[in-house]
Amino acid sequence: MEKESGLPRGVKLLHDPVHNKGTAFTDAERDKLGLRGLLPPRVCSPAEQELRVLGNLRNKASDLERYLFLVSLQDRNETLFYRVVINQIEEIMPLIYTPTVGKACQHFSHIYRRPRGLYISLQDRGRVREILQNWPHQDVRVIVATDGERILGLGDLGAAGMGIPIGKLSLYTACAGIHPTQCLPVTLDVGTNNESFLNDPLYLGLERRRERGPAYDELVDEFVDAVKEIFPQALLQLEDFGNCNAFRLLQKYRGSLCLFDDDIQGTGAVALSGLLAALRISKGVLEKQRVLFFGAGQAGIGIGNTIVAAMVADGIPIEQARGSCWFFDSQGLLVDGRADLPQQKRPYSHQHPPVADLAEAVRLLQPTALVGCAGQAGAFTREVVELMAAQQQRPIIFALSNPTAKAECTAEQAYQWSEGRAIFASGSPFEPVHLGSDTFVPGQGNNAYIFPGVGLGAVCSQSREVTDGMFLAAARVLADLVSDEDLDLGRVYPRLSHIRQVSAQIAAEVAGIAYREGLAQREAPDDILEDVRQHMFQPLYPHYA
C-alpha cells in the first residue's frame, strides 16, 4: 500500500534511494510509514551515518572496491551518498570519477550489480521514444549520453562506457546541485570494436562490431528527436564519442536543442582557464603565447578553438590567433600539404617542414605551453621537459590525458626535470611534490570545474542553446577564482573543496548570457546568483512526520 502522495511505505521505502533515510528515520516516521521493526532501534543522525560510511569506505582494499561501495550507497540512499561526496569531495571525486571510473568501465560487465540509466541499442530503432518514457522521473533537466567509443584515454568500451554518464551526472549533483531525479544517464549501444569485450562471455553490450553506416545516424536522430519531445526542458551533453562523430554531431544538433559536447567545449574551457591562471604566474599575456598540442582529437582541437576564441575576443585577428596553436598528432607536426585532413584540423595546418619527433618540434617551435591530450603515457619525456625549461623561464606543461596511467608525465617528473620552474596541471589528480625546500601542489584540469556550472546556468535560465561564448565566459570566471594562495603553490585551479561555489559563479555568468542574448525561456530574476543558489540541491533529509 502506498500513500496518495506516491511515497512508498515499509520495505519499499527502504529500497527507494530517493526517499530512503535508513537509520535516520525518526521514531514518529517509523510508526507513520510502517518501518517499525524493519530498522535497528537507534535513530542515527546524518553525521553519524556519514561517519559509518567513511569508516567502511576507508577500510576497503582498493579504489575499485571503494567505487563499488559508493555506487551501492548511491543505489540505496542518494541523500546520504551526496552528503558524503559533497563534504569529502577531494577524497571522493577521484573514486566516483577519474581516475577510478576508467577501471570501473573496463570491468563494467563483471562488476555489474544494479541498473542505472537507460540503454538504447541499434535493436531499439523505432521505439526510442517508448524507452525514454520508461524512465521513472519526468522532470529530467540534464542528460549525459555516450556511445562508448572513446572512453577517457581507454578507447572503445562499448556499453561498458555507461560508467561515464553515471559518473558525470553524479558530479552534476555534487558540484552544481542538479537534483538527482533530474539527471538521466544514457548509453547508445551501437556495438564495439574492442576484441577483448567481443570475446568476453560476460560482456553486456551488443555482441557485434561498431556500426558506422546510416543505421548509426538514424538511431542518434531518433534519440535526439525523442529527447526534444519527452524531455523538452533537458540539456543534452554528448560525452566520449569518437572523433569521427563528435564534431559532426555537435554541429548537426547544437542549434536544434540545448546541447554541448564536453570533450570539445568543456575541455577547451577548463584548459583555457588553466592557461589564463598560469599567465598570472609567468607574467605573460595570452596573445604572445605559442601553444603546442600533443594530440589533435576532440580535446586538443576543442582547447585550440577556445584559445583562439579568447584571443579574438581580445582583438587579435583570427589567423594570427590560429597561428599561435600548433598540433602534433599520430603523423607528426600538423603542416600544410598533409593529405586528407579532417575539417576540424584544417585551420591549424601551418606552413612548416614536416617534423616526426615531439622533442624536435619543441626545439624548433619553442612553445611557451605544451598541452598533452592524446592519451599517450610518458610522451613528455625528460628530453621534452628539459627542452621546454631551457627555452622558457616558466614553461607551462599540461598533461591532461586521463586516467592517471595515461598522463603524458607525472607532476613529479615535470617539476624535477624543470628544476621546479614548470607550471603544471593534469587531467587526473597527483599528490603534492616536494623539491628541496619547496612544495608544489599541482592543479587538476578536470572538466568538473566547468560542465556542472555551465549546465546549471542553462537549466536555471531554461536556455534554448549552449553557446561557445558561455564556455569562454566560464573559463574566465574559473580563472578569476584562482586565488593568489593557489598560485603560490603552483596550483592553477581552485581547490576542489570550493567547487560548488565555483559552479554557482559560472552558472550565474552563463545564465546572465542566456538572459541578455534572448536565449532564456524564463524572465531574468533580480539577483541571478541568488536564483542559481536557490536552484541547487542540498543533501538534507525531508521530514515525513
> Is 103 part of the annotated catalytic residue set?
no
Residues forming a β-bridge with 187 = 119, 146
Grid cell in block for residue 176: 552544481
Chain-centre distance of CA 50, in angstroms? 26
Residue 379: CA count within 13 A, CB half-sphere: 29
Contacts of 518 (CB under 8 A, 6+ apart): none
| Rounded CA Rg of the chain | 24
Which amino acid belongs to residue 139? D
Q: How far apart are the first and last CA of the chain?
A: 18
The residue annotated as part of the active site, out of 97, 415, 541, 544, is 97
Rounded to an integer, what distance in angstroms lies between the CA atom of residue 158 and that of residue 184?
Answer: 18
Q: Which residue has the cell 529530467?
A: 140
Grid cell in block for residue 29: 516516521
Peptide bond into 542 cis (omega under 30): no
Rounded to an integer, what distance in angstroms lies between the CA atom of residue 511 and that of residue 454?
Answer: 8
> Which residue stretches of 315-464 are H helix?
318-322, 358-365, 382-391, 411-417, 451-461
Contacts of 255 (CB under 8 A, 6+ apart): 465
The residue annotated as part of the active site, out of 168, 415, 449, 544, is 168
> Is 203 part of the annotated catalytic residue set?
no
Which residues are catalytic, by number?
A: 97, 168
